Structure 1
Amino acid sequence: MTQERFQLEDAVLAHYLPRNMFRFRDMNTSSPYLQAGVVTNDGKCFVLNIRLSGFPTSKPKVYVEEMLRTKSGALMDSASAPNHTLTAWNGWTQLCHYNDASWTNDVSLWKVYLKCRLWLEMYQAHMRTGKNMDYYLNHQH
């Protein structure tokens, strides 16, 4: 990521989030990432780990810094179309946030954050109801 793009992404995130809710880490290494806190509408806190190697040219991998489980207790550690998850890494659930065909260099980290926040809201609804995240994507009115 160029310095200009980094400054733009940082400014956009700072516009929408308090500074203590996100932090860029290891930016001068081969494994840079963004850590960002999410508080869902029901008050549950999560930490997103957005891997920036290759960003913005390629879609960043996004993990929740914990291994999530379904309402029935199954690990969310593998690819699941109904739950919009991908293969886990580092013991963390990976979220599916953008279709590869939809990814462009113009997508901001703020948009990635918003999609993952939406996923986490659907996850919390799943924990209340047992319905897959897919249900909420297909039944929005």
Structure 2
Amino acid sequence: MTQERFRMEDAVLAHYLPRNMFRFRDMSTNAPYLQAGVVTNDGACYVLHFKLENFPNGKPSVYVEEMLRTKSGELMNGASSSNHTLSPWNGWTQLCHYNDGCWTNDVSLWKVYLKCRLWLEMYRAHLRTGKPMEYYLNHQKN
């Protein structure tokens, strides 16, 4: 990511989130990432981990920094179209937020954050109701 793009992404995130809710890390290495906190409407707290090594030309992989479980207790540790998850990393659940074919380099980290926040809201609804994630999340082009 260029310095100009980094400054823009940082400014957009700072416009919408308090500075203590996100942090860019290891930006001068081969494994840069963004950590961003999410507090859902019901008060649950999560930390999202955005892998940025190919961003913005490639979509960032986004993980919840924990292994989530379904309402029935099953680990969300694999690719699942009904749960909208991808392969885990570091013991963390990976969220599906964009179809590879729909990714463009002008998508901001803020927009990715919003999609992941929406996923977490639907996950919390799944935990309350037991309805499958697919009930709340439909595959869309973007």
TM-score (norm 2): 0.96
Amino acid at match of 1:128: R
Q: Paired residue for 1:111?
A: 111
Q: Percent identity between the aligned chains?
A: 80
| Whole-angstrom CA distance in 1 between matches of 2:53 and 2:24 | 12
Asked if residue 101 in structure 1 is aligned to residue 76 in structure 2, the reply is no
Asked if residue 87 in structure 1 is aligned to residue 72 in structure 2, the reply is no
| Whole-angstrom CA distance in 2 between matches of 1:130 and 1:101 | 31
Q: Deviations over 1:110-133 (max 9, x none)?
A: 000000000000000000011122
Pairwise CA RMSD = 0.6
- 1:46 is paired with a residue of what secondary structure? strand
| Whole-angstrom CA distance in 1 between matches of 2:90 and 2:132 | 24
Aligned length: 138
Q: Paired residue for 1:62?
A: 62
Amino acid at match of 1:95: L
Which runs of no fewer than 5 residues in structure 1 stay unpaired? Answer: none
| Whole-angstrom CA distance in 1 between matches of 2:102 and 2:83 | 19
Amino acid at match of 2:121: E
Amino acid at match of 1:20: N
Q: Paired residue for 2:46?
A: 46
Q: Deviations over 1:68-89 (max 9, x none)?
A: 0000000000000010000110
